[in-house]
Amino acid sequence: NAGVTQTPKFQVLKTGQSMTLQCAQDMNHEYMSWYRQDPGMGLRLIHYSVGAGITDQGEVPNGYNVSRSTTEDFPLRLLSAAPSQTSVYFCASSYRLDIRGGNTIYFGEGSWLTVV
Amino acid sequence: QKEVEQDPGPLSVPEGAIVSLNCTYSNSAFQYFMWYRQYSRKGPELLMYTYSSGNKEDGRFTAQVDKSSKYISLFIRDSQPSDSATYLCAMSGGDSWGKFQFGAGTQVVVTP
């Protein structure tokens, strides 16, 4: 299993440009999500999905768009990049309950985004 | 007030010492409690998780949950320089399935 795979790992954007961060998981997890991590702010939920065709907003959704057409993929789109979106982005996934009966979340390696 | 509070550190300890980390939370509905380790420029990796109250041990790591006090702890025995990382607590449960709440993370530095 590859787990949760994110691309690209690094990206520099100009203000106003759009781009898509890709996320795929091969664990057949129902739940997928995107977080951003900023110094002193911890992990903040941007959007999440509890299954194909279902998405919902998290804590900081403005400026981002998501879709979930398949169980495996959950891309995050930046519509018009702003310097405030400079951050590290993590995709994560989870079963409703994992095989040990718990509720845990697994992260990708991160995407470092700089908006200039 | 944040739902999960965690001291950001840094916490510096000598090699071989016990590292003690903790988080407090306000939502009594949380049932699942997790600790993640995050190395610089890497994603968080799951260290331990517990369900409801009690202790759980895995090698040098012990996780404790006290739901009555809304307090969770992680202890690392015989700490090694390779334990130097940021440790994040996380929790979920109740009617908020999928909505994990994270602490801000505590930076730990283990000096040889």
- Give pLDDT tens digits for A41-55: 889 999 999 899 999
Say yes or no for a CB contact (<8 Å) between A103 and B102.
Answer: no
Q: With 80 as the cut, is the pLDDT of residue A1 above it? A: no
Determine the Cα–Cα distance for residues B12 and B26; give it in Å rounded to an integer: 28
Per DSSP, what are the bridge partners of residue B22? B73
Instruction: Of A34-43, A71-80, A95-104, B41-50, give the lowest mean pLDDT range.
Output: A95-104
Report pLDDT for A70.
Answer: 96
- Give pLDDT tens digits for B78-106: 999 999 999 999 988 766 566 788 999 99
**Confidence class of residue A39 from pLDDT cuts 50, 70 and 90?**
confident
CB neighbours of residue A53 within 10 Å: 10
**Confidence class of residue A102 from pLDDT cuts 50, 70 and 90?**
low
Determine the Cα–Cα distance for residues A68 and B72; give it in Å rounded to an integer: 34
Q: What angle do CA A77, A82, A86 make, to 5 degrees?
A: 80
- Give pLDDT tens digits for B26-49: 988 888 899 999 999 999 999 998
**Partner-chain residue, chosen from B31, B49, B99, that has the shortest CB–CB distance to A104:** B49
Region B53-80 average pLDDT = 94
User: What values do phi and psi take at A98, rounded to 5?
Assistant: -80, 180
Determine the Cα–Cα distance for residues B45 and B85; give it in Å rounded to an integer: 11
- Give pLDDT tens digits for B8-20: 889 999 999 999 9
Report pLDDT for B93.
Answer: 76
The residues on B that touch A, with CB distances below 8 Å, are 6, 8, 31-32, 34, 36, 41-46, 49, 51, 88, 90, 92-93, 97-100, 102-105
Residue of B nearest to A32 (CA): B98
* Mean pLDDT of all residues belonging to chain A: 91
Determine the Cα–Cα distance for residues A21 and B59; give it in Å rounded to an integer: 37
Interface-testing mutation among B6, B31, B32, with chain A (most A C-beta atoms within 10 A): B32
Say yes or no for a CB contact (<8 Å) between B103 and A42.
Answer: yes
Report pLDDT for B43.
Answer: 93
Determine the Cα–Cα distance for residues B34 and B89; give it in Å rounded to an integer: 6
Region A58-84 average pLDDT = 96
Report pLDDT for B94.
Answer: 65
Say yes or no for a CB contact (<8 Å) between A40 and B88.
Answer: no
Q: Measured between CB atoms, does A109 come within 8 Å of chain B?
A: yes
- Give pLDDT tens digits for A21-30: 999 999 988 8
